């Protein structure tokens, strides 16, 4: 989800991308017989997010809705209605927290008390500022287009939305005092799906240990950066776990001996399209997804605060030091 806001808005963390060799046509991970899809959904999501940000800034209308005497001048006033809030209010070059809240930011009280469940989805398409938007959209293009080319728009679209919603649910359960916006939960879902796709399709890849090591390091570094203040790491974790499980369900490939059965001797041909462990991962993942979403939604709409059930979980989103406080929960 990225940035969460209250009195101020801070940046969503920058993300590393997948290993360079992971999805390139010349790499050992790509097979000549795989169908290559034309990527159009991910570019459309990027366009939708940019268009939504323009709408946000038009509604924000800093010159007419902001008291410059008390809080300073709008930034880039030559943009007119599109000019940004003073950097003291929003250092990401974006709107006010009240504008984001009005247009669908995730807020615990709105979801629970006012029954506005649609915010679990709308917040995925809102961003706290230009910096936040650029970081998320560049990451989405880098990761998402390659996935869509390999697995098609239907599977990647389902993955993106469910991971975003999974991130929203976990965020709403643990971040109860601030608003939260951004596509980071969905993006972490794509990273999680890349990891599970590598694991479930282990037999058809070369250099898999190197790819696995690189991908795990990228994920761990990004989750660690998410422990800084004002970054909604619960959305990252929720999105990642959702995407990781969905990868076992949606991105399963036939084993190599089945794919190459027409080019192999009869005794070397695969008897089964998928391996036993692929079926096991698929079943366990479906069960965990159904249970996780059900429990999460039931807890949320009962108005429960996840921090009361897990006294240490807040450290997953922010670790206090002598340089900063953690007061988001």
Asked whether the CA dihedral 132, 135, 141, 147 is positive or negative, the reply is: negative
Is the pLDDT assigned to residue 179 strictly greater than 60? yes
Lowest-pLDDT choice from 147-156, 176-185, 291-300: 176-185
Q: How far apart are CA 72 and CA 88, in angstroms?
A: 8
Partnered with residue 75 across adjacent β-strands are: 84
Residues noted as catalytic? 184, 236
256-287 confidence digits (pLDDT tens): 666 666 666 666 555 678 889 999 999 999 99
Q: What angle in degrees, to the nearest 10, is found between the helix axes of 276-301 and 184-200?
A: 160
Percentage, residues of the chain above pLDDT 70 = 81
Residue (of 168, 164, 165, 14) closest to 92 by Cα position? 14
Q: How far apart are CA 167 and CA 162, in angstroms?
A: 8
Q: How far apart are CA 32 and CA 25, in angstroms?
A: 9
Helix (H, G, I), strand (E, B), or coil: what is residue 172? Answer: helix
Is the pLDDT assigned to residue 23 strictly greater than 70? no
What's residue 30's pLDDT? 43
**Mean pLDDT along residues 145-156:** 94
Is the pLDDT assigned to residue 325 strictly greater than 70? no
For residue 326, what pLDDT band results from cuts at 50, 70 and 90? low
**Mean pLDDT along residues 167-194:** 93
Q: How far apart are CA 268 and CA 258, in angstroms?
A: 9
The whole-angstrom distance between residue 61's C-alpha and the CA centroid of its chain comes to 28
Lowest-pLDDT choice from 103-107, 178-182, 203-207, 218-222: 203-207
Selection from 19-33, 125-139, 217-231 with the highest mean pLDDT: 125-139
Is the pLDDT assigned to residue 68 strictly greater than 80? no
**Mean pLDDT along residues 289-316:** 91
For residue 223, what pLDDT band results from cuts at 50, 70 and 90? confident
């Amino acid at each position: 989800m990225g940035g969460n806001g209250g009195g101020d808005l801070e940046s969503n963390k920058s993300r590393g991308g997948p290993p360079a060799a992971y999805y390139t046509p010349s790499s050992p991970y790509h097979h000549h017989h795989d169908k290559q899809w034309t990527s159009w959904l991910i570019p459309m999501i990027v366009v939708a997010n940019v268009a939504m940000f323009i709408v946000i800034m038009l509604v924000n209308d800093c010159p007419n809705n902001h008291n410059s005497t008390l809080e300073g001048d709008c930034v880039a006033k030559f943009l007119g209605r599109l000019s940004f809030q003073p950097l003291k209010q929003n250092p990401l070059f974006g709107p006010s927290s009240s504008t984001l809240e009005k247009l669908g930011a995730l807020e615990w009280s709105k979801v629970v008390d006012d029954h506005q469940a649609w915010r679990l989805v709308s917040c995925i398409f809102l961003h706290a500022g230009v910096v936040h938007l650029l970081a998320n959209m560049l990451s989405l293009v880098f990761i998402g287009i390659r996935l869509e080319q390999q697995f098609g728009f239907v599977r990647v679209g389902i993955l993106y939305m469910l991971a975003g919603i999974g991130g929203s649910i976990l965020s709403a359960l643990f971040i109860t005092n601030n608003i939260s916006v951004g596509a980071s939960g969905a993006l972490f879902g794509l990273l999680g799906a890349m990891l599970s796709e590598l694991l479930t399709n282990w037999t058809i890849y070369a250099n898999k240990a190197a790819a696995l090591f690189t991908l795990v390091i990228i994920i761990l570094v990004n989750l660690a950066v998410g422990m800084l203040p004002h970054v909604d790491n619960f959305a990252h974790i929720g999105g990642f776990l959702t995407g990781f499980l969905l990868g076992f369900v949606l991105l399963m490939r036939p084993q190599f001996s089945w794919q190459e059965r027409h080019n192999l001797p009869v005794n070397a041909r695969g008897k089964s399209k998928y391996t036993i462990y692929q079926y096991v991962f698929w079943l366990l993942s479906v069960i965990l997804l159904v249970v996780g979403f059900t429990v999460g939604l039931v807890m949320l709409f009962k108005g429960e605060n996840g921090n009361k059930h897990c006294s240490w979980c807040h450290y997953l989103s922010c670790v206090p030091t002598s340089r900063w406080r953690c007061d988001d929960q």
